[in-house]
Amino acid sequence: MGGRSSAGCGAVSVVAMSNVGYRLIGCRPSISFSQCLRFATVFLAGCIALGFSLNANAQVAAQGVSKSDELRAFGSTTMRSRYYALINELRCPKCQNQNLSDSDAPIAEDLRNELFSLLDEGYSDQEIRDFMTARYGTFVLYQPPLTRFTLALWLVPLGLLLISGLIIWRMTGKPRGLTDPNFEHHASLQKVGAVNAGIEPISMKVDALDRHIAELERTHEHDK
């Protein structure tokens, strides 16, 4: 039942989207923008409705019955996901850069067992991390704790992002000194509509001006 309704939804959306796309590219006479917008809104509403109805079914479907025992008897699904999250996050103290999940080393096995019993006893994620750190050091955490040194790990990328944003802002401001003789030319071309949808201006005059400017720069270079 679920499969068939999914197929049905899939078919409807493909038809809907190809229709829109087809019209958009204009192989048929173009429709007005407001018509497009109306169609798209209906499409979106349909998707949302369908999505919620499907999701309602999801809650009802039962978990598959497994006839094999899981290696660890997890008390709940949260405990299982916390377990897997933690063993992926903690580093094996002995191995060559592997987390507890991937490692075959005996110490990794021990630590997984210890982790499991700690989870069972009700430790929180942070308490477990503290437990491991107290014995093996910050080495076993793949995300280092926040100290004044590790702050650099977070601040430097953020700083670089801001600096580059600033640089771009300044570079795209008003041209200082020289006014841009090409700008007016471009503006008039745009009115003609030749520069929509990414077609470059093919005016040779603009290119010739650019070349002339490049030549000026070259001569400037040799003056140094």
Partner 1 sequence: MNARLRLFIPLLIFAVVALVFLTLEKRIGSGEYDPSNLPSAMLGQSVPAFNLSRLMDAEQVVDAEDIVGQAALLNVWATWCIACRAEHAYLNELASQGVPIFGLNYKDERAAAVQWLQRLGNPYRLNIFDFKGSLGLDLGVYGAPETYVIDAQGIIRYRHVGILDAKVWREKIEPLGLQWAVAQAQGAAL
Partner 2 sequence: MISVIPEIGHLALLLCLPIATALAVLPMAGAAASWHLLQRSGPLLSSGLWLFLAVAFACLTYSFLHDDFSVVLVAQHSNTALPSYYKFSAVWGNHEGSLLLWVFILASWTLAVAYLGKSLPPDMHARVLAVLGGIAVGFLLFIIFTSNPFERNLISPPLEGNDLNPLLQDIGLILHPPLLYIGYVGFAVAFAFAIAALIGGKLDAAWARWTRPWTTVAWLFLTVGIALGSWWAYYELGWGGWWFWDPVENASFMPWLAGTALIHSLAATEKRGVFRSWTVLLAILAFSLSLLGTFLVRSGILVSVHAFASDPTRGMFILLFLAVTVGGSLLLYALRAPTIKPLATFKLLSRESWLLINNSLLAVSLAVVLIGTLFPLVMSALDLGSYSVGPPYFNKLFLPLMVLLMLFMGVAPYLNWKHNRLTPVLVRPWYMVSIVALGIAMLAVALLSQRYVTQWRFGAFITVALSSWLLLMTLTHAGLKARRFASAKNSSAWQGLASLSRSYWGMVVAHSGIAVMALGIGLTSSYSVQKELAMSPGAVADVAGYRFVLEKLEDVKGPNYSATIASFGVGRLSDGTLVKGLPIRLQPEKRFYYAAKNVMTEAGIHGRLTRDLYVSLGDSLEDERWAVRIYVKPFIRCIWLGALMMAAGGLLVVIDKRYMPRLPVRTDAPSDTVASKEQAVV
Sites for partner 2 among residues 90-119 (CB under 8 A) = 91, 96-99, 101-102, 104
Q: Encoding tokens for residue 148?
A: 């004044």
- How many CA atoms lie within 13 Å of 82's alpha carbon, on the beta-carbon side? 20
d(CA 200, CA 194): 8
Q: Which does 7 bind (CB under 5 to 8 A by kind): partner 1, partner 2, none?
A: none
In the chain, the amino acid numbered 24 is: L
Phi, psi of 91 (to 5 degrees): -95, 140
One of 1, 27, 134, 192 touching partner 1 (CB under 8 A): 134
Written as six digits, the tokens of 130 are 């503290």
Instruction: Choose the contact partner of 36 out of partner 1, partner 2, none; CB within 5 to 8 A by kind.
Output: partner 2
Q: How far, CA to CA in Å, does 191 sit from each of 65, 128, 136, 182?
A: 67, 65, 68, 15
Dihedral over alpha carbons 9, 14, 15, 17 (to 10 degrees): 120
Which of partner 2, partner 1, none does residue 122 bind to, with CB < 5 to 8 Å depending on kind? Answer: none
- Cα-atom radius of gyration of the chain, to the nearest Å? 31
Could you tell me the smallest distance in angstroms from the CB atom of residue 126 to partner 2?
14
Give min distance, CB of 122 to partner 2, in A. 22
Give, as ranges, the residues between 90 and 129 that touch partner 1 (CB under 8 A): 93-94, 96, 106-107, 110-111, 114
Q: Which of 69, 122, 134, 188 is in the footprint of partner 2 by CB under 8 A?
A: 69
Query: By rule CB under 8 A, what count of residues binds partner 1?
Result: 15
Q: Does 172 bind partner 1 (CB under 8 A)?
A: no
CA distances in angstroms from 83 to 97, 100, 115, 137, listed in the order given:
20, 11, 8, 20
CB of 142 to partner 2, least distance (A): 3
Which residues of this protein are in contact with partner 1, per CB under 8 A?
93-94, 96, 106-107, 110-111, 114, 133-139
